[in-house]
Amino acid sequence: MSYWLGVDLGNARVGLAKSDPELTFAHPIGNVQVWGDDYFHALDDVLDVIEDERITHVVVGHPLQLDGTEGKSAKKARRWAKALERRLDEDGIAATVELLDERLTTVDAHRQLREAGLKTRDHRPSIDQQSAVVLLQEALDRNARERTDTAVMEV
What confidence score (pLDDT) does residue 150 get? Answer: 65
Q: What is the mean pLDDT of residues 106-133?
A: 68
Q: Which pLDDT band holds residue 109 (cuts at 50, 70, 90)?
A: low
Work out the number of other CB atoms within 10 angstroms of the CB of residue 143. Answer: 16
Instruction: Return the sign of the alpha-carbon dihedral for residues 14, 140, 105, 83.
Output: positive
- Helix 105-115 / helix 124-154 crossing angle, nearest 10 deg: 110
Asked if residue 33 has pLDDT above 90, the reply is no
Distance CA 139, CA 30 (A): 19
Q: Are 139 and 6 in contact (CB under 8 A)?
A: yes
* CATH number for the domain harbouring residue 139: 3.30.420.140
Distance CA 116, CA 98 (A): 29
Give the rounded distance of the alpha carbon of 93 from its chain centre. Answer: 18
The number of domains in the chain is 1
What confidence score (pLDDT) does residue 89 get? Answer: 96
Asked if residue 119 has pLDDT above 90, the reply is no
What confidence score (pLDDT) does residue 28 get? Answer: 94
Question: What is the model's pTM?
Answer: 0.85
**Domain of 84, in residue numbers:** 3-154
Q: Which pLDDT band holds residue 141 (cuts at 50, 70, 90)?
A: very high
Distance CA 10, CA 99 (A): 15
